[in-house]
Structure 1
Amino acid sequence: MLHRRCIAFVVLFLAPVMALAHPHHGHHVHEHAGFAAGFLHPFTGLDHLLVLLGIGFWMARSQRIPGTLISGTAVLATLALAFALGMAQGPLPTVEFGILASLLLTGVLVFLGTRLPLVVTAAIAAGFAALHGFAHGAEMAADLSALRFAAGFLLASTLMLTAGTLAASRIRDTALERPVGQAAGGAMVAASVYLLLVV
């Protein structure tokens, strides 16, 4: 029974790996901008999916509910600010490597089940989110449609973060916590290596 539950959690957590995904953010999508496009866009990026799921999963293991809420708020606020900065600045090639590094490091944190003080947890999670927010914002033209896109993007990101948090909350302090965390973290590390090879 324990074995079956472990497999179920891993499959649910890693389902995005099987989704169609673009490996990088070099293209512009402003011609398709709008709330629906913004909502769907993060789901087409394997890196964004796994990082936000992983951050939510790691935060819920590292902190209790109040701390997780504080860290999650910091992540979403940073995503929004970085998105705006990306629109103003435009693409920066080095951000792509930062994104892959954030995926790799999130995978390591999930794998190890590292528990850190709240301030450190929030700072790390927000730092990773900043790279992703900037990359998606840099794809956009600075106009009214970009605001609608940003609203959809942030809603989708909130759902991803929440999904990772809920998954970890269900297994925290149970026999499933360690094996599921190791499987999920290992898959994230593998995904970061794969994306590095195809970027």
Structure 2
Amino acid sequence: MPPTNLERCPWCGKDPLYVRYHDEEWGVPVHDDRKLFEMLILDGAQAGLSWLTILRKRENYRQAFDHFDPELIAHYDEWRIAQLLTDPGIVRNRLKIAGAVKNARAYLALRERHGPLTAFIWRYVDGVPRQNTWKSLAEVPAKTVEAEAMSRDLKRLGFTFVGPTICYAFMQAAGIVNDHLIGCFRHHELAQASD
């Protein structure tokens, strides 16, 4: 059980799974291509839903989508998509499932033309996590210039479900930006780690 006496970003509420995600994962810089690919797919799956909904289904997604192996997902056919549409452990939305397949193919093409996803994604902040100093949730933007540029570039490369708001949520989750509020105990820890 996560400690209850620490000041946290208020968005994680009291749900133990959400609190653990906030304390251990959200905002931690990710430099692993497979993990970044997973995060991008899950952020796309979240569109129109709460992140907690996706977080509760994350293990099911990992099982259903071959642990987010883009080589395998890129070969999913209509039969496999139809099979996934019957899986109650994931969001059964045809566009989102087909989007994950399209994104796996786009990921492989990106890797072939531009190298690792990690280098491609981190270039929007020159390879160093952006340290923001928001005092309240009202100050945190839904998107930024960098997220808009990432969105444009990813769409041009064939990705889907990568609008600027989704890209910014992805940047926050992957630690490309530190958007923990300055009163949150994690803000200082992550800022120190990036020094």
TM-score range, shorter chain: 0.3 to 0.5
Q: Which has the higher helix share?
A: 1
Q: TM-score, normalised by structure 2?
A: 0.33
